[in-house]
Amino acid sequence: MAQAMVKRIVSSSACTFAGLAQKTYIRNVAASSKVAASKKERVLPTEGEITKSVFMSQSTDIYTNLALEDWLYKNMDFTNHHVMMVWRNEPCVVIGRHQNPWLEANVPLLSEKEIALARRNSGGGTVYHDRGNLNITFFAPRERYDRNYNLKLIKRALFRSFGIKSTINERQDLIVRDKYKVSGTAAKLGRLTGYHHCTLLVNANKADLSKALAKREHGIQTKATASTRSEVANLKDLDNRITVENLQTALGYEYLRTPALHLDDGGQSLIAKQRGFQFVNPTDDWFPGLAELKNDLVSWDWCFGRTPMFTVSRSFPVPIGLLAPSKVYSATQELVINMTVEKGLINDVTLSIPPGLIESGFHGEASVITHLKGKRFTSEALNALQDAMLTRHHVSDVKELDDKEQFVAKCFDQVVNTM
């Protein structure tokens, strides 16, 4: 079976994204800022001229907040105005731009527990969010983008307000007590603007987290970015005074009291020169064009359809009862299912049916393959398969699958649904 490999080169850390969005909104900063082809023509202000704001999102919906992050990245001019946005979400799993949701998360469990699955625009690994998790996005002009500054700022805030000591490891994660990861990082750099997004675990439900991200037998082979699992800890375990609210406030004040380009303490007098905290209401009438961004993020085509091509290979031993009773077989009879999934749709299916199953009367191979092709890699495929096998019975007018067909259906179910 020819396997088309993923062409994109995937990195596990920051992902550079060239070019601006295709869509134009009422405000398009790039068009109106009269920036010539050469970047050098943009005059950046001195440190004293930059003012800072802390935006606090009023929404807890992951798709709305991701859309807001994207809207600000595409439409706001950060030349003289650096912004730190803080936000929280209802329970959800967020995968990186180039990741495979079936590989990273327990997809059937997510839909069963109504936990949302979202794919963000930036690269990196998978995270689980709930209300005990704080998201922080640092926005700055591309030339002033500085991940180290941002992470060190968080480190300083944790110490100044709560006495918590932390370190930054080589993967740019924030580590406490030398081994527990309390934050993850992802970023996106455009022509004019860059953003750096971190998470901070304050009081997340660790049990739900591990269930949602559980690694299971799946047989997937892919070139998509895989997450590196680490041992995590909640900040609340280190100091039980911490809540998401007071951490948000502490980070905000640390951000406002630090000069824009170097780490120092400007104190209350520097805070008084900034723009301060603002609530942000992410709706389409406050931010025209937001609804369109959100609709894209919610769509199946983006969340699942954007998965880099992968193959699935599973083998299932056939129960003795389904084999021809008179025959004895030398090797274990195994049904092997191979599938290629592209853009979240089943592309190529190969079924290796063991002789034992053929001799006992299973004939469904051809129709199975035809009916699965083009279907989404979800239960949808399964229903199509069962319908396909049912139609084979038009001769004998039986509306039920025989036990061999049931077995095959069950195997497919395992492939698709126990991801």
Partner 1 sequence: MPIRRSQVLVKWIFENQHKLQTIRWCSSSLRYKELEDSVQADHVAPSPTQKPHPQITPEISFKYEDLQVRLAAPYQLTPKPEAKELGFGKYFTDHMLKIYYHKELGGWQKPEIMPFENLNIHPAAKALHYAIQLFEGLKAYRGVDDKIRLFRPELNMERMNLAAQRSGLPMFDGEELVQCIKRLVQIDQEWVPHSETSTLYIRPTLIGIEPTFGIMAPESALLFVILSPVSAYYKASSDGAVSIFADPNVVRAFPGGVGNRKVGSNYGPTIEATARAAKLGHHQVLWLFGPDHQLTEVGAMNIFMVHINDQGDKQLSTPPLNGLILPGVTRRSIIELASQWEDIVVREEVITMDRVIQLNQQGRLLEMFGAGTAVIISPISRVGFLEQNIEIPTMKQSNPVFQRVKDTLLAIQYGHVEHPYAKVIS
Pattern 213-252, binding to partner 1, x per CB under 8 A? --------------------------------x--xx--x
If phi > 0 it is left, if psi is from -120 to 50 it is alpha, else beta; for residue 178 that is left
What is the C-alpha separation between 154 and 173, in angstroms, rounded?
11
Find the part of the chain contacting partner 1 (CB under 8 A) among 22-30, 169-177, 234-242, 358-366.
22-30
Q: Which of 372, 350, 349, 343 is nearest to 6 (CA)?
A: 343
Task: Return the residues of window 264-323 that contact partner 1 according to CB under 8 A.
Answer: 271-281, 283, 285-288
Q: Least distance to partner 1 from the beta carbon of 56, Å?
A: 6
Q: Least distance to partner 1 from the beta carbon of 287, Å?
A: 5
Our CB check for partner 1 shows the closer of 53 and 227 to be: 53
- Answer for which of 10, 13, 27, 171 binds partner 1 (CB under 8 A) is 27
Residues in binding contact with partner 1, number by CB under 8 A: 36
Coil, strand or helix: which one is 275? coil
- Answer for which of 76, 164, 261, 291 binds partner 1 (CB under 8 A) is 76
- Answer for which of 58, 205, 313, 315 binds partner 1 (CB under 8 A) is 58
Our CB check for partner 1 shows the closer of 33 and 221 to be: 33
- How much helix, strand and coil, in percent to the nearest 5, is found in the chain? 35, 25, 45
**Angle at which helices 290-298 and 62-75 cross, to 10°:** 130
What is the C-alpha separation between 193 and 121, in angstroms, rounded?
14
Q: Least distance to partner 1 from the beta carbon of 269, Å?
A: 10
Our CB check for partner 1 shows the closer of 219 and 266 to be: 266
Our CB check for partner 1 shows the closer of 139 and 304 to be: 139
Q: Least distance to partner 1 from the beta carbon of 121, Å?
A: 20
Coil, strand or helix: which one is 182? coil
- Answer for which of 3, 11, 16, 80 binds partner 1 (CB under 8 A) is 80
- Note whether 53 binds partner 1 by CB under 8 A: yes
Q: CB count, 10 Å around CB of 131?
A: 15
Our CB check for partner 1 shows the closer of 287 and 412 to be: 287
Check if the beta carbon of residue 339 is closer than 8 Å to that of residue 321: no
Tokens coding 55: 């935006």
Our CB check for partner 1 shows the closer of 287 and 362 to be: 287
What is the C-alpha separation between 355 and 100, in angstroms, rounded?
34
Our CB check for partner 1 shows the closer of 22 and 32 to be: 32
- Answer for which of 10, 20, 29, 270 binds partner 1 (CB under 8 A) is 29
Our CB check for partner 1 shows the closer of 294 and 306 to be: 294
Long-range contacts of 158-166 (CB under 8 A, 24+ apart): 158/235, 158/250, 160/250, 160/254, 161/246, 161/247, 161/250, 161/254, 162/235, 162/238, 162/239, 162/241, 162/242, 162/247, 162/250, 163/239, 164/235, 164/238, 164/239
Sheet order of strands, 310-317 included: 220-222, 310-317, 334-342, 345-352
Contact footprint for partner 1 (CB under 8 A): 26-27, 29, 32-33, 51, 53, 55-56, 58, 75-77, 80-81, 245, 248-249, 252, 256, 271-281, 283, 285-288
